[in-house]
Each structure stands twice: as C-alpha cells, then as structure tokens.
C-alpha cells in the first residue's frame, strides 16, 4: 500500500496535451496508454499485488482443503471455491492504480494543464479508469489460465469463463471509479490509502471464505448479507463451482450497477468542482 506513493513524477512527456485535432476517443486511447505505462513502470508497485494473492491462494487452498468435508460445502476442492479471491484482488488493485494515477496527475498539475487544452480533463479520468481495467483484465486472464492449468473445473463452460471475465472487468470498473472519485475529491494519496483497510474489511467480512449457509455465527451472516462484496463474490463464484445461477448473477449485476453509478456520478461531481476551482 505504501509502495506506489506519488513520489515518482508522472510520465507527462508521453502525451502532448496540445495535440489539437484528435477526437475524444483518440485522446482517451492516448491517455489510457500513458496510464498503463505509468502503472507498469514500477514493478515494485504491482508485483506484490500479483504475487501475494497467488501465494495466499496456494497456501490457503491447501490449508483449508479439509473444510470441503463440511456437509453441504459446495465444492470438492477448496481451490475451486477460493480462486474467486484473485479476481477481487485484481479489482482492489484497480482501485489503487486508477486512484494513485490520478493523484499523481493532480499533484504534478497535469490535470489542470489538460483543462487548458483541447483535451478534456474528463478524458484523463476515463483514461485512468480504462487503464486500470486493462491491467485488471490482464491479471484476471492470468488467474483464469492458472485455474485451467491447475484443473479448476469451470462449471458454466466456455461461455461461463467469458461471463466471468466480463464480471471481473466490471468489478474492476466499479472499484476503479470509487478510487478515482476519492482521488479527485482529495487529491492526496493518503486519503486513498485510508480506504484500503475499508476495502480489505469488505473483502474479509464477506462470503469469501465460507458460503453463507455454512456460516455459524448469526452476526457474521448478517454482515455478509449487507456487504455488497458478498454478492460480487457469489456471482462470479457461481460460474466456477455451480454453473449458471440466474439469481446470483442478477444480484451481482445489480450491485455492480449501483456501485458504478455511485462511482461515476461521484467522479463527475468531484471533477466539476475541481475544474471550477482551477
């Protein structure tokens, strides 16, 4: 979390903001490429984000294997059950890469400078979020491959894997908009780091480690019920261990729609306020 602070200067030279005449989608493309390059430029920043989940996945899928013998446990292998955590981690990583990327651009004045050019500041926000999603997708593809290699049986079939990747991308989008919102509002990496305990809590106080039916403690079951992350996990997980379960997918999509809507409108408001100040 402390790794990718805003000390490194943003690679501003990559894009000339005065490149007049480019269309809006083209601008976004240019800026997104820049944000991806920026995020990937320091391996110390993202390698732990890839390595740590894989390590914990390896250890925990072995350590918890015995819990599949609990009557009613929905999978034969704990790995199949828990691999969904990697997609969630990728989404959390999108929060930080979109947020920190924007914080850097705010601190370096790049965002303000963009506002004075034909490129729109909004394009930068969209680009940072898209960049974060592309990275999350790359990671998700890696995790699916690892799942296939280690014999995870994707119950929903090939289309199910595509749907899973789609949901993973959308989850990353939802989280990235929240990260961008906080970045635009505060302009500080501290605020962004402050929400990580919260994100972590939402991940751990969910149905991540046990399906809700098998949670003994009522208070904990109640927490998982109000925690939106549970629905994201259950939706993606159902495609892996069960097959097509319309209710779970629907709940997941609903949660994603709501969070994305909150994130996008938050970003729009915060950006307007920031531009009005500038």
Partner 1 sequence: MSTTFRAARAIAWRHLYKWISVPANFMPTFIFPLIFFTGFAGALGRVGEIPGFDYPANYTTWIFVFSLLQTCLFGGLATGFTIAGDFQSGFARRLMLAVADRNAILYGYMLSTFLRAALMSGIVTGVAFIAGLEMLGSVGEIVGMYLLSLSLSLIGTMWAAGVMFRARDPQLGPAMQIPMFIAIFLAPVYVPLALLSGWLHAVARVNPVSHIMGAGRGLLVGQPDDIGLALVSVAVLFALLAVWAITGVRSAERAGG
Report the alpha-carbon distance of residue 215 to residue 70 in Å, rounded: 11
Report the alpha-carbon distance of residue 225 to residue 270 in Å, rounded: 30
- Smallest distance, Å, CB 20 to partner 1? 38
Report the alpha-carbon distance of residue 131 to residue 26 in Å, rounded: 14
Q: What is the DSSP string of 10-59?
A: P-GGGS-TT-TT--HHHHHHHHHHHHHHHHHT-HHHHHHHHHHHHHHHHH
User: Does 64 participate in binding partner 1 (rule CB under 8 A)?
Assistant: yes
- Smallest distance, Å, CB 149 to partner 1? 17
User: Does 54 participate in binding partner 1 (rule CB under 8 A)?
Assistant: no
Report the alpha-carbon distance of residue 139 to residue 8 in Å, rounded: 23
User: Does 41 participate in binding partner 1 (rule CB under 8 A)?
Assistant: no
Q: Give yes or no for a contact between 132 and 94, defined as CB atoms under 8 angstroms apart.
A: yes
- Nearer to partner 1 by Cβ, of 44 and 276: the residue is 44
Q: Give yes or no for a contact between 244 and 156, defined as CB atoms under 8 angstroms apart.
A: yes
- Nearer to partner 1 by Cβ, of 63 and 261: the residue is 63
- Nearer to partner 1 by Cβ, of 208 and 248: the residue is 208
Binding-site size, partner 1 (CB under 8 A) = 42
Over the range 251-263, which residues count as b (16 or more CB within 10 Å of their CB) and which as e? bbbebbeebbeeb
- Nearer to partner 1 by Cβ, of 57 and 133: the residue is 57
- Nearer to partner 1 by Cβ, of 6 and 126: the residue is 6
User: Does 186 participate in binding partner 1 (rule CB under 8 A)?
Assistant: no
Which of 13, 23, 158, 216 lies at the binding interface for partner 1 (CB under 8 A)? 216
Over the range 185-204, which residues count as b (16 or more CB within 10 Å of their CB) and which as e? bbbebeebbebeeebeebbe
- Smallest distance, Å, CB 195 to partner 1? 10
- Nearer to partner 1 by Cβ, of 78 and 154: the residue is 78
Identify which range of 1-9, 27-35, 94-102, 135-143 contacts partner 1 by CB under 8 A.
Answer: 1-9
User: Does 208 participate in binding partner 1 (rule CB under 8 A)?
Assistant: yes
- Smallest distance, Å, CB 34 to partner 1? 22
User: Does 277 participate in binding partner 1 (rule CB under 8 A)?
Assistant: no
User: Does 225 participate in binding partner 1 (rule CB under 8 A)?
Assistant: no
| Helix, strand counts (H, E) of the chain | 12, 0
- Smallest distance, Å, CB 69 to partner 1? 6
Other CB atoms closer than 10 Å to residue 138's CB: what's the count? Answer: 14
Residues that bind partner 1 (CB under 8 A): 1-3, 42, 44, 47-48, 51-52, 55-56, 59-60, 62-67, 69-70, 190, 193-194, 196-197, 200-201, 204-205, 207-210, 214-217, 219-220, 223-224
């Amino acid at each position: 979390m402390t790794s990718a602070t805003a000390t490194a200067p943003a690679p501003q030279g990559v894009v000339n903001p005065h490149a007049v005449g480019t269309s809006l989608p083209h601008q976004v493309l240019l800026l997104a490429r820049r944000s991806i390059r920026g995020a990937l430029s320091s391996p110390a920043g993202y390698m732990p984000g890839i390595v740590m989940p894989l390590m914990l996945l390896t250890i925990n899928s072995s350590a918890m294997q015995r819990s599949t013998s609990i009557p009613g446990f929905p999978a034969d292998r704990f790995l199949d059950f828990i691999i969904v955590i990697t997609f969630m981690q990728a989404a959390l990583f999108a929060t930080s890469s979109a947020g920190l990327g924007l914080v850097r651009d705010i601190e370096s004045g790049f965002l303000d400078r963009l506002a004075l050019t034909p490129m729109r500041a909004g394009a930068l926000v969209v680009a940072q979020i898209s960049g974060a999603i592309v990275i999350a997708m790359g990671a998700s593809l890696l995790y699916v491959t690892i799942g296939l290699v280690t014999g995870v049986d994707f119950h929903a079939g090939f289309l199910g894997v595509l749907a899973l990747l789609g949901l993973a991308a959308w989850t990353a989008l939802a989280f990235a908009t929240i990260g961008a919102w906080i970045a635009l509002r505060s302009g500080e990496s501290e605020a962004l780091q402050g929400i990580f305990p919260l994100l972590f809590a939402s991940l751990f106080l969910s149905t991540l480690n046990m399906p809700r039916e098998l949670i003994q403690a009522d208070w904990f079951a109640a927490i998982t019920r109000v925690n939106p992350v549970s629905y994201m996990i259950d939706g993606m997980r159902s495609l892996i261990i069960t097959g097509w379960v319309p209710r779970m997918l629907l709940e997941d999509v609903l949660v994603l729609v709501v969070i994305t809507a909150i994130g996008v409108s938050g970003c729009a408001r915060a950006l307007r306020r920031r531009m009005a100040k500038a």
